[in-house]
A = this chain, B = another copy of it.
Amino acid sequence: MTIKELTVAGSGVLGSQIAFQSAFKDINVTIYDINEQALTKGKERIETLAEIYKNEIEKAKESYNREANNIKYNQNLLPSLDHIFLSEVTDSINFINKIPGKITFSKSLKEAVSKADLVIEAVPETISIKEDFYKELSKVAPKNTIFATNSSTLVPSQFASLTGRPEKFLAMHFANNIWQNNIVEVMGHEKTDKAVIDQALEFSKSIGMVALPIQKEQHGYILNSILVPFLENALALYYNEVADVQTIDKTWKLGTGAPMGPFEILDIIGIDTVYNIMKNYADTNNDPNSLHAHLAKMLKETFIDQNRTGKASGYGFYQYQ
């Protein structure tokens, strides 16, 4: 079965991006959210995404300035290449303009999933909300529909028994800013069918993603399993006043050839997001003297309370313009 009908549950930051990107790749998309107010916000997000996608394409047009960029090809042999490029840009922009009108919005879960091959769940990251959602979804969805959670911090086995189809349930973890960070970590739990994982991988590719298969359930998937402790160790050096932010970033970049140091990455991810992760660890361990507790307190007091939340806000570990 090729997935052609997608329902995205939850029209927040990630949900709307998954929906938009899928529609952009010619999937029939329905967005479900709990009430009119949420749906109105979701529609606004979709309109904003249309502008973002068009801007990205305009940027491509600028970078295709052949003469300024010294791009050379034989115009005798390829006389219409410029024309082809520009007409593709126009076609793409025209298509993007139609996307908001092509997406179906619904506050009835039953209606929203009635034809779905795949439901991607992007509802709030709260266990009880997700549990209630899967209980309801399992009642109204066709029995062949695949369910995927986009949860960043929870794992599919936590909800599998509520889905009524554990073998058709898995995680598909998308990254923020899907139009440039086009990766999906695809991860089943112990009882997920191999064939369902393959379908999810194939679907991911069909909507322009690099699909990253994970063989075994893992909290934090691949990226966060490495990235979170990486950031944590850099934060510990800063917290312990071993070195300043610039020196730590410089050391990492010179030592490994990476284009960004840990604090530049922190500023992009957003200090509030990293604070939530540290706070969550600290609350789980319940030790006020743990490193996580100290780091969470510092991030809150020195950064978040001073409106230093990262690059998007203009000021984090570094100041931006």
Interface residues of A (CB under 8 A from B): 175, 181, 183, 185, 210, 212-216, 218, 222-223, 225-227, 229-230, 233-234, 236-237, 240-244, 247-248, 250-252, 254-260, 262, 265
Contact = CB atoms under 8 A, between A and B. Distances in A.
Contact of A213 (B210, B218, B247): B247
A241 B229 contact: no
Question: Which among A213, A255, A260 has the highest number of chain B CB atoms within 10 Å?
Answer: A255
B233 A225 contact: yes
Given A226-B237, A234-B226, A251 B218 contact: no
B233 A226 contact: yes
Contacts of A222: 237, 242-243, 247-248, 251-252
B260 A242 contact: no
A175 B257 CA distance: 13
B243 A226 contact: no
18 contacts: A181-B255, A210-B250, A210-B254, A213-B243, A213-B247, A215-B242, A215-B243, A215-B244, A216-B242, A218-B237, A222-B251, A223-B252, A225-B237, A225-B242, A227-B252, A229-B230, A230-B233, A258-B259
A291 B300 CA distance: 32
A260 B222 CA distance: 15
Nearest to A236: B225
Nearest to A175: B255
B210 A223 contact: no
Nearest to A183: B254
Given A212-B251, A225-B233, A226-B262, 19 more contacts: A183-B254, A212-B250, A213-B243, A213-B247, A218-B237, A218-B240, A218-B242, A222-B243, A222-B251, A223-B255, A226-B230, A227-B252, A229-B230, A229-B233, A256-B258, A257-B259, A257-B260, A258-B259, A258-B260
Contacts of A233: 225-226, 229-230
Contacts of A252: 222-223, 226-227
Nearest to A250: B212
A213 B212 CA distance: 39
A218 to B, nearest CB: 5
Contacts of A214: 242-243, 247
Contacts of A244: 215
Nearest to A214: B243
Contacts of A248: 222, 226
Would you list the 8 A-B pairs with minimal beta carbon distance, nearest first? Answer: A258-B258, A222-B251, A223-B255, A218-B242, A226-B233, A216-B242, A230-B230, A183-B254
